[in-house]
Amino acid sequence: MRDGIYKKKLDELLAVCRKNLRSVNEELITRAFEFSLEAHKNDMRASGDPFFNHPYEVAMVVAREIPLDDVSIASALLHDVAEDTEYEIKDIREEFGDVIADIVDGATKISDIFRSHEITQAESYRKMLLSMVNDIRVMLLKFADRLHNMRTLEYLPKEKQVRMARETLEIYTPFAHRFGLAKIKWELEDLAFKYLHPEEYDDVARQVKAKRKEREAYIKKFVKPVEKCLQEDGMKFEIEGRPKHLFSIYNKMVNRSKPLDEIYDLFAVRIILETENTNDCFTAYGILTSIYIPIPERFKNYISVPKKNGYQSIHATVIGPEGKMVEVQIRTRAMHEIAEKGVAAHWKYKENLSALDEELENWISWVREIFEHADEEAPAKQLMESFKLNLYQDEIYLFTPKGELKILPKGATPVDFAFAVHSNIGLHCLSAKVNGRIVPLDYQLHSGDQVEIITSKSQTPKADWEQFVVTHKAKSHIRRWMKEEERKEIEQGKELWEKRAKKFKLHINDDELLKYLREFKTENLNDFYLKIHRGEIGVDGILQEIDFQIKHKQSEVIREEKSRGIFNRFLDTARSFTGGITLFGSRDSFMHSYARCCNPIPGDEIMGYVTRGEGIKIHRTSCRNFASMASADPSRVVEVGWPLTDGAEYVTAIRISGEDRTGMLNEITHSISSYQNTNIRGVKIDANDSLFEGTILVSVKNKEHLERIIEKLRKIKGVQHAERMVE
């Protein structure tokens, strides 16, 4: 009985292959079938079915929906063997050769692409890309694998259902769209929709089913006069009602805030012409619009300007009977095959397979672009965001002054266009003309625009370019250029420092220099040299200060610093949360320090006082010293402020003391953290006999927040003093 079942399955698979493939090596497919069946004979799926049913169904998807060749079918049958059985890639290589082994190996490497941490994910995408470039069938096999897994998702736990549905919607469906696999994309979207939003899915499905007969009757009424006129014109054609998949309907209901009855493009028709003459599509459009009134702004000509994935068709919307709008697509049979099956149809319609290489290059160039210029030091998150952005973005069609077509993502700017033409043009892009009119470099281009880039040898990328460009090529080139320029500035700054230090007869190694630099709000040497080159800090002033500290470092100063250590650490922590201060709204690009007479911290009202040789001293506005200096020379007073911190919080210190007892520390910390979920950042408590004293660092939203905490602390039994720590 078992042999009979699998003999029937093999016969069905071979029959589909004969129907859809140009040539079939039945012996190869049979051997792969039997090898997989034997390898998986003891394995079961979550549904309780034999595991072999999965590779078999994946092979059937490939044969029906992505019919490339017999190698693809054999690879589909074997795709889980190396991952889930005792057999290895080397066994497949020995039995079936390098091509099939490499496809199976590529599919195996990316099978758990979403299960690891972010950096591993990014590396997995690199492996996936490498596999795609070597053999496009690897990715097509993964589409079929994912489709069957989604079809059988009901047997998995709820948590896994949601995870797989989400990654399917985020990665697989836009990827399938890019590869032109419309039918697979639609089914994946609907299946993901079913598990991510089950209630909404059921509601839309119920409404669509209830309206089915009414919709079919309307389409029949709409089509009848069109069929008659096309026949009279001698055309051979097929007209079908084009079903709208549920996820698409749901999105339109949400985006337009309309019920199902008001979604006009539920009525959709496709006219498929049995012709090789693309002009017949325009003739058919003329016949259609002689019967029904067209809506001009909804006409799209993807025949003259195909989509990046090779899609071609005329899209039109007309006013049908009863004043209802109907979407109509008009295409040839070959265009329809390409629209439904993407790269597989290209393979089928290419007589000279050597020409396929260039076609496939166009198909995957958009994804290779993301990785071929990827900076190895770039954060994995940045790489993944760019990858997903490119998956989701719609395309616009742009032209050079000579009429050359460039396809870019929606939202692209002249700078993106410049880099698309050539990286050197992008790097020296000075300005741009769109349709003969000068536009800003951050201008968003639109389909049909003619773009002329004006360059200058003296022009180089600006830091803000990265904020408005959308293509990865532009972003990566800009980042690389900025990094290289910064490296040059650091070298020049270092050279200047070494010359001045030598003249000053100051000998100091990098580790010692770093200790001093932290006092000047410079965390590393590169930042220090960069600020020197840009003139943001004075070299001589720094040299004088370091020389003075080296020569006058007395034990008294050391003892003083030890006694004030916790307060200084608190000040550094508190101020680090703001990243410095701002002067007239600009970021910290000037030398400054904090006055020790009043020790300002974030949250205090502050002013700056311009000193000689020490930059700007920051004082609290209530500081007596500041008031005295300001009245003596008001011209030196400048307005400064603390930048906003994340969450609008700042760190402050509370000095507390009192009678020690069991549980006192727990009661203190609970009293603080229970008020508005206050975050305690540090505690230092010393106890002596029956008394305690210490300091607590806390994050507060404002002074009122701090005052309420202090009030609560003073109410604790045994607490004698609780106050903000200033000095």
Q: Which residues are catalytic?
A: 83-84
In order, the DSSP letters of 390-428 are HHH--EEEEE-TT--EEEEETT--HHHHHHHH-HHHHHT
Read off the DSSP letter of residue 312.
-
Q: Is the distance from CB of 80 to CB of 146 less than 8 angstroms?
A: no
Axis-axis angle for helices 70-78, 98-109 (nearest 10): 50
Give SS3 for 686. strand
Alpha-carbon gap, residue 190 to 152, rounded angstroms:
13
Give SS3 for 114. coil
Q: Which strands form 616-620's sheet, in the order they lie side by side?
A: 592-594, 616-620, 606-610, 637-638
Q: Distances in Å between the alpha carbon of 574 and those of 564, 607, 669?
A: 15, 18, 19
Alpha-carbon gap, residue 520 to 514, rounded angstroms:
10
Q: Is the distance from CB of 380 to CB of 121 less than 8 angstroms?
A: yes
Axis-axis angle for helices 137-151, 118-134 (nearest 10): 120
Give SS3 for 540. helix
Alpha-carbon gap, residue 582 to 614, rounded angstroms:
17
- Identify the CA nearest to 592 among candidates 575, 608, 572: 608
Alpha-carbon gap, residue 345 to 351, rounded angstroms:
12
Alpha-carbon gap, residue 107 to 145, rounded angstroms:
9
Neighbours of 5 (CB within 10 A): 10
Rg, the chain, Cα only = 35
Read off the DSSP letter of residue 685.
E
Write the CB contacts of 332 (distance below 8 Å, at least 6 apart in sequence): 272, 273, 274, 275, 276, 277, 278, 280, 281
Alpha-carbon gap, residue 586 to 590, rounded angstroms:
10
- Identify the CA nearest to 405 among candidates 368, 359, 451, 354: 451
Give SS3 for 273. strand
- Identify the CA nearest to 173 among candidates 158, 163, 185: 185
Q: Is the distance from CB of 536 to CB of 580 less than 8 angstroms?
A: no
Q: Distances in Å between the alpha carbon of 166 and those of 5, 140, 345?
A: 35, 20, 28
Alpha-carbon gap, residue 568 to 198, rounded angstroms:
57
Alpha-carbon gap, residue 103 to 706, rounded angstroms:
63
